[in-house]
Amino acid sequence: MAELIDAYDTAMFDLDGVIYLGPHAIGGSAEGIAGLHERGKRVGFITNNAARAATTVSDHLTSLGIPASVDEVLTSSQAGAHLLAQHLQPGAKVLVVGTSALADEVRAVGLTVVASATDEPAAVIQGYDPNLDWSSVNEACYAIHAGAVYFATNLDRNRPTERGLVPGAGPQIDAVRSSVAVEPVTAGKPDRPLLDEAVRRWSADRPIFVGDRIDTDIIGANNVAMDSLFVFTGAHGKLDLLGAGPEGRPTYIGADMRALLAPPRVASLAGGRATCGAAEATIVGSEIRLDQPGGDLEDQLDGLWAVAQLAWAQPGLDYTQALDELDLVPAGQGQ
């Protein structure tokens, strides 16, 4: 049977929660990427994390047994810098609130990095900084009050680490936002610039995006009309999937990114009945019931995909009991 990837020329990946989790590779990702290369597919790695340079990311991937060139990595810092370049005159001054990696990308597009509002920057760009200096938050506010245009690399509320979720760029940006009453122009997922840049850079005609979050990855892919594969190796799980509105529903689901190399999971929906593989979901009263004969994770994902079709087609049905039966599928954060 055909593999999911057969319909696409380029596979684009979110990194944290899809390829690696913190410093460690997610099981099977090196093998999966190698399989894509063997099939002659283009591969690209895309991250909302603005703190690390693309070279640092490509070195990290290579150290995990996933050889990646710097051209195969695209960060929200790079997309943010390109966004600035589109809006500003060459050489314009930009106040950077973020890491040196972000400042380097701003310089690379021909803009001038400044550190103080007294330099009268034309724009402010803010990205995640693990060592955020509070005085730079103040400088950003002064500059924006004085008329600088406000940009952000991404608005992720949190980020996964080995020891759990911690605040991401969003809360840092909130510190500025709450004092300036201006919304930043944003480069990262789910906004368009990062994925638009990815399509351009890799000349992708038929790309698919693989992600672990509904709110950034899947909504981001849908925003640029790109097909998507939602995987269960990261932040979100079955609760997030079932709770997704039309804008956050993926084209496919899979246990991990190796689902690209397997036949696509396809469900059919007719009336009050949905089937996927050997699983069948039906509506009984106000509840979705699941007949789930198999026991492994792949079987349970068939069941979940059948339940999702009914839950999305008829909002308001109770799927709690059906999801409880799918005990091998990660629940996610429900947020």
Collapsing DSSP to helix, strand or coil, 94 comes out as: strand
**For residues 95 and 147, what is the distance between their CA atoms, to the nearest angstrom?**
12
Contact 231, 11 (CB under 8 A): no
Has 191 been annotated as catalytic?
no
Has 16 been annotated as catalytic?
yes
Q: Which is nearer to Mg ion, 190 or 277 (CB)?
A: 190
Q: Closest Cα to residue 183, out of 151, 141, 145?
A: 151
Options 85-93, 142-150, 232-240, 255-263: segment touching Mg ion (CB under 5 A) = 232-240
Q: How far is the CB of 21 from Mg ion (least distance, A)?
A: 9
Does residue 105 interact with Mg ion by CB under 5 A?
no
Helices (H) and strands (E) in the chain, counts: 11, 19
- Beta-carbon contacts of 149 under 8 Å, excluding residues fewer than 6 positions away, are 87, 122, 123, 124, 185
Does residue 212 interact with Mg ion by CB under 5 A?
yes
Q: How far is the CB of 104 from Mg ion (least distance, A)?
A: 23
Q: Which is nearer to Mg ion, 234 or 254 (CB)?
A: 234
> What residue is closest to Mg ion based on CB?
17
Collapsing DSSP to helix, strand or coil, 308 comes out as: helix
Q: Which is nearer to Mg ion, 158 or 179 (CB)?
A: 158
Q: How far is the CB of 66 from Mg ion (least distance, A)?
A: 16
Does residue 16 interact with Mg ion by CB under 5 A?
yes
Q: Which is nearer to Mg ion, 17 or 250 (CB)?
A: 17
Q: Which of the residues 16, 191, 217, 240 is marked catalytic?
A: 16
Options 17-25, 124-132, 290-298, 326-334: segment touching Mg ion (CB under 5 A) = 17-25
Contact 149, 123 (CB under 8 A): yes
The total of other beta-carbon atoms located within 10 Å of residue 245's CB is 10
- What is the maximum span of the chain, computed from C-alpha positions, in angstroms? 68
Residue of 14, 72, 129, 240 interacting with Mg ion (CB under 5 A): 14
Measured in degrees and rounded to the nearest 5, phi and psi for residue 311 equal: -60, -40
Q: How far is the CB of 16 from Mg ion (least distance, A)?
A: 4
Q: Which are the catalytic amino acids?
A: 14, 16
List contacts with Mg ion (CB under 5 A): 14, 16-17, 212, 234
